[in-house]
A and B are shown apart, each in its own frame.
Chain A
Amino acid sequence: MHLAYPAVLSALLFCTGLYGVLARRNAILILMSVELMLNAVNLNLVAFDVWLSRTAEETLHSGQALTLFTIAIAAAEIGIGLAIVLAVHRNRGTADIDRLRDTAEGHESPAADGPDSDTPATGTAAEKAEATA
């Protein structure tokens, strides 16, 4: 098989995930895009490992071992990430990362979003509960 096929597919998947991370607004969709990027890296690792294990005299199969490690670390990352997103959602009532601007410096006037940024918890939670009820 030509090596360009898996390499090009991996590059395209990585850039798809890059677009998702930059363009999405929901934190869980961003986690999905991160998963896509990690999978693109995994495909690259596997393809190059299969290529090099044929051409090299002896191989450590480092690509496949690293792929397994990446998969395990991605599983840990998704668990921690979802726990953080759920904690943020419980405290703030939203998983919308564009609205989590507490540490932003001076992009908006404090009077404009004063009630939102000061009292985010119950107001947005109640709004959300009403919207989904």
Chain B
Amino acid sequence: MTLAQAHHGFLSPTGVEIAFLLVGLVTFGAALVTVTTKQLVHAALWLVVALGGLAVEYLLLTAEFIAWVQVLIYVGSVVVLLLFGLMLTKAPIGHSPDADSGNRWAALTVAVAAAAALVWVVVDAFRATWIDLDGPAAGSTEVTGASLFQNWVLPFEALSVLLLAALVGAIVLSRRAKAESSSPPVNSRAATESSRSVTESSDNSGSPSSASDARKNPAEQEGTR
């Protein structure tokens, strides 16, 4: 350990450490609420708090470019996508008691055991390690851009191809589902199905032959309601 780190100590946390601890508590609490709440939309909204708290943590670690990328992509688009997914799959608004599956206690055991092991190992390994946050920022836009376009150009370009593939794949997945739902074999199969589905859908549409209407685009159903 060098002389510059000699004045560090557990009992005298710096201001950055206190801020990191407080924001970390908020982030961890929001993450806990995200995975335990019974209301599905609230889970997405608490996820915003957790991801925003992580952006603040990146700022405290002087990685400001990552912080703003986090705000733009995660808080800006991923959560919106998740909310759209919740709406399109007609997630119940309000209290839904079956949000957790039956193996919750096994999951809790595994998670607590993994957390205990990881925290123990990490604390034991990095007990005497300090991050030097003084000086120029380690993750400013200039530094990140220089390293990204000097050393990481090929992965960067490959990533753009991957994003294009993901875009095309998402479009193909959603289009194929729509084409299948109006194809004749599925309709004939739906017409010969058990009477339970026909009677239930007759309450909805009035005629048993339109049982396949319930399989159309959920957005269209929302529109006709």
Binding site for B on A (CB under 8 A): 1-9, 11-20, 22-29, 31-33, 35-36, 39, 42-43, 46-47, 49-51, 53-55, 59-62, 64-65, 67-69, 71-80, 82-87, 89-91, 93, 95-96, 98, 115, 119, 121-123, 125-133
- Bound together, the chains give a CA A47 to CA B193 distance in angstroms of 57
Name 17 A/B residue pairs within 8 A (Cβ), A-sorted.
A15-B112, A18-B110, A24-B35, A24-B99, A31-B82, A32-B44, A35-B47, A46-B139, A61-B151, A65-B148, A83-B170, A86-B88, A89-B89, A96-B98, A122-B211, A123-B194, A130-B204
Q: Are B85 and A28 in contact (CB under 8 A)?
A: yes
The residue on B at minimum CB distance from A12 is: B28
Question: Which one of B139, B162, B217 lies within 8 Å of A50 (CB-CB)?
Answer: B139
B6 part of interface (Cβ distance < 8 Å)? no
B contacts, CB < 8 Å to A:
8, 10, 13-14, 16-17, 20-21, 24, 27-28, 31-32, 34-35, 40, 43-44, 47, 50-51, 54, 57-58, 60-63, 65-66, 69-70, 73-74, 77-78, 81-82, 84-86, 88-92, 98-104, 106-108, 110-112, 114-115, 118-119, 122-123, 126-127, 129-133, 135, 138-139, 143-144, 147-148, 151-152, 155, 159, 162-163, 165-167, 169-170, 173-174, 176-178, 180-181, 186, 190, 193-194, 196-197, 200-201, 203-204, 211-212, 214-215, 217-218, 221, 225
Contact between B101 and A98 (Cβ–Cβ < 8 Å)? Answer: yes
Which residues of A are found within 8 Å of B51, using beta-carbon distances? 35, 39
**Complex CA distance for A126 and B205, rounded to whole angstroms:** 10
Collect the chain B residues with CB atoms within 8 Å of residue A130's CB.
200, 203-204
Residues of B within 8 A of A127 (CB): 200
Q: Which residues of B contact A17 (CB under 8 A)?
A: 31, 35
Residues of B within 8 A of A1 (CB): 14, 16-17, 20, 60-61, 130-131, 133
Give CA–CA (A13, B104) in the complex, Å.
18
Considering residues B108, B119, B127, B155, which has the most beta carbons from chain A within 10 angstroms of its beta carbon? B119
Given A15-B111, A54-B138, A95-B91: 15 more A-B contacts, CB < 8 Å: A6-B20, A6-B57, A12-B115, A26-B40, A31-B82, A31-B85, A50-B133, A64-B65, A67-B63, A68-B144, A90-B177, A93-B214, A125-B214, A126-B204, A128-B90
Complex Cα–Cα for A47 and B143 (A): 16
Q: Establish whether residues B159 and A69, one from each chain, have CB atoms under 8 Å apart when the complex forms.
A: yes
B61 and A46 contacting across the interface, CB-CB below 8 Å: yes
Q: A8 CA to B16 CA in the complex, in Å?
A: 16
Q: Cβ of B61: which chain A residues have Cβ within 8 Å of it?
A: 1, 6, 46-47, 50
A65 near B129 (CB under 8 angstroms)? no
Q: Is the CB of B215 within 8 A of A5?
A: no
A9 with B27, Cβ < 8 A, contacts A22-B106, A28-B82, A54-B138 known: yes
Q: What residues on A are CB-neighbors of B123 within 8 Å? A: 4, 7-8
